[in-house]
Amino acid sequence: MRVLVLNSGSSSVKFRLLDPEDPAYLVNGIIERIGESGSRIRVFFDDEEIEHVTDIPDHKAGVIAAFALLSESGHDPRHSNIVTVGHRVVMGGDLFTKPVVVTDKVLDAIRELSYLAPLHNPANADGIAAVRIALPDIPQVAVFDTAFFADLPEPSRTYAIDREVATRYGVRRYGFHGTSHDYVSHRVAEFLDRPYESLRQIVLHLGNGASASAIAEGRAVDTSMGMTPMQGLVMGTRSGDIDPGVMTYLSRAAEMDATDLDHLLNRKSGLRGLCGHNDFRELTDLVEAGDPDAVLAYEVYLHRLRMYIGGYLMLLGGADTITFTAGVGENAPKMRADALSGLEWFGIEIDPERNALRSKQPRIISTDSSRVTVLVVPTDEELLIARAALSVTQ
Ligand code: AMP
């Protein structure tokens, strides 16, 4: 029983063909630069890689090219025993709080939610529409990035603005990276052999995008991303939290309109805005070399992260676990140590040797005497999407 998982971004599509029962079976692929010059598509399988550079004007063409390349690699999706296709959809709004089988009505609703996620939902919908044409007899399932946070408590999801404006325009905290927070927090409970509901968890998803969540009694009680994925932690290219007054100030003083501000906060901010680099490896090298802009960027990143960890310790009344995940969280031991340094008073003690260990497996990096268990757990959003897709179709 195989599942195809698609994660469509505005100019890229990541895809994976997997068998949830057989971790050894894995075919990965990525289509990049859709709608731009020099689009390329790559498929990875059994330590091999095939790459094509070809014009891919839109998502439909991307899916056709991906299927052709999968066939070339011996994994034609039409003959690979695929029982369902799972799609990551960024915004489910108030409509979708669970995975759903895609019908015409569901696809229309995903498009209608584009007003809340203009960069993501149209791409997600285009990806789904293209696969429905290519595999018309196989059920497609939409898995929403916001769903894990659909049940946030009212005080956490509510912004303190005019209620009428907020209600009319759907302005509230939705949260994102839900599939990752969901997968990782459940994996922590499984790894520690503790009931999910019994744990007070802080999960730090630190990748190019970054978000934190606080989980207690089996549900998310807060997350750092908001109505859009711009709020919260300092990210690769996104600002995270910023005084909302800066927007009105820049619109007047620098005559920036909504598009300019969106570009500034999404693309020219975060680590890249501060030091010109959004890749954490490059940042780390520059910090080690003593580059002052990189050192400041690193310190701003840590300052914000520590503030969220502190806030969540307060909200949860102390934590049982703190877990690092995603590209930076899984691979940057110095950042992990710096993020949690000097917190012995809170019962948080990192073991330097455990923290330095590199592994693709979940692991504990705190000392045996640490009251809070600190972990590194590799995220696997595609596996969660595949399981969710199977759960509603089988
Ligand atoms: P993600 O969005 O989860 O794919 O994470 C991407 C981020 O992870 C990028 O900023 C990478 O620089 C960072 N990353 C990946 N590998 C490493 C590594 N070995 N050390 C530090 N950062 C890394």
> For the chain, what are the domain ranges?
2-150, 194-376
User: Closest ligand 1 atom, CA of 284?
Assistant: 21
* C-beta of 9 in contact with ligand 1 (< 6 A): no
- Ligand 1 center to 163 CA (angstroms): 39
Q: 133: how many CB neighbours lie within 10 A of its CB?
A: 10
* C-beta of 235 in contact with ligand 1 (< 6 A): no
State the pLDDT at residue 38: 85
State the pLDDT at residue 25: 82
Distance, in Å, from the CA atom of 51 to the CA atom of 31, rounded to the nearest integer, reads 10
User: Closest ligand 1 atom, CA of 205?
Assistant: 3
- Ligand 1 center to 324 CA (angstroms): 12
* C-beta of 279 in contact with ligand 1 (< 6 A): yes
Topology of domain 194-376, per CATH? Answer: Nucleotidyltransferase; domain 5 (3.30.420)
Nearest CA to ligand 1 atom 18: 331
Mutate to test the pocket of ligand 1, among 331, 338, 379 (most ligand atoms within 8 A of CB): 331
pLDDT digits (tens, 9 = 90+) for 137-181: 999 999 999 999 999 999 999 999 999 999 999 999 999 999 999
DSSP 8-state assignment for residue 341 = T
Token digits of residue 33:
């630069």
Share of the chain above pLDDT 90, in %: 86
Nearest CA to ligand 1 atom 19: 331
State the pLDDT at residue 16: 95
Exposure string (b/e) for 343-379, b if CB count within 10 Å is 16 or more?
Answer: beebbbbbbeebbeeeeeebbbbbbeebebbbbbbbb
* Distance, first Cα to last Cα, the chain: 10
State the pLDDT at residue 54: 87
State the pLDDT at residue 268: 95
- Ligand 1 center to 132 CA (angstroms): 33
State the pLDDT at residue 110: 97
Q: Which of 202, 234, 156 lies closest to 346 in space, CA to CA?
A: 202
- Ligand 1 center to 329 CA (angstroms): 8
* C-beta of 241 in contact with ligand 1 (< 6 A): no
pLDDT digits (tens, 9 = 90+) for 236-272: 999 999 999 999 999 999 999 999 999 999 999 999 9
Token digits of residue 206:
């630190």
Nearest CA to ligand 1 atom 16: 327
Residue ranges of the chain whose pLDDT lies below 70: none
* C-beta of 281 in contact with ligand 1 (< 6 A): yes
User: Closest ligand 1 atom, CA of 379?
Assistant: 3
* C-beta of 271 in contact with ligand 1 (< 6 A): no
Nearest CA to ligand 1 atom 4: 327
- Looking at domain 2-150, its CATH superfamily turns out to be ATPase, nucleotide binding domain (3.30.420.40)
State the pLDDT at residue 186: 98
- Ligand 1 center to 330 CA (angstroms): 8
State the pLDDT at residue 37: 84
Token digits of residue 36:
């731009």
* C-beta of 207 in contact with ligand 1 (< 6 A): yes
Secondary structure class of 375 (helix, strand, coil): strand
Distance, in Å, from the CA atom of 347 to the CA atom of 368, rounded to the nearest integer, reads 11
Please report the DSSP string for 32-47 in residue order.
Answer: E-TTSTT-EEEEEETT
Amino acid of residue 168:
R
- Ligand 1 center to 293 CA (angstroms): 19
Nearest CA to ligand 1 atom 8: 327
Q: Which residues are annotated as catalytic?
A: 145
- Ligand 1 center to 325 CA (angstroms): 10
Q: For the range 362-365, what are the long-range contacts, defined as Cβ-Cβ under 8 Å and sequence gap of 24 or more?
A: 362/187, 362/188, 362/191, 365/324, 365/336
Distance, in Å, from the CA atom of 186 to the CA atom of 196, rounded to the nearest integer, reads 7
State the pLDDT at residue 84: 96
Distance, in Å, from the CA atom of 9 to the CA atom of 24, rounded to the nearest integer, reads 27
* C-beta of 332 in contact with ligand 1 (< 6 A): yes
* C-beta of 331 in contact with ligand 1 (< 6 A): yes
Same fold across 2-150 and 194-376: yes
| Unique residue bearing structure tokens 């399981």 | 387
State the pLDDT at residue 36: 85
* C-beta of 184 in contact with ligand 1 (< 6 A): no
Amino acid of residue 115:
Y
- For the chain, what is the radius of gyration of the CA atoms? 21
State the pLDDT at residue 394: 85
State the pLDDT at residue 168: 95
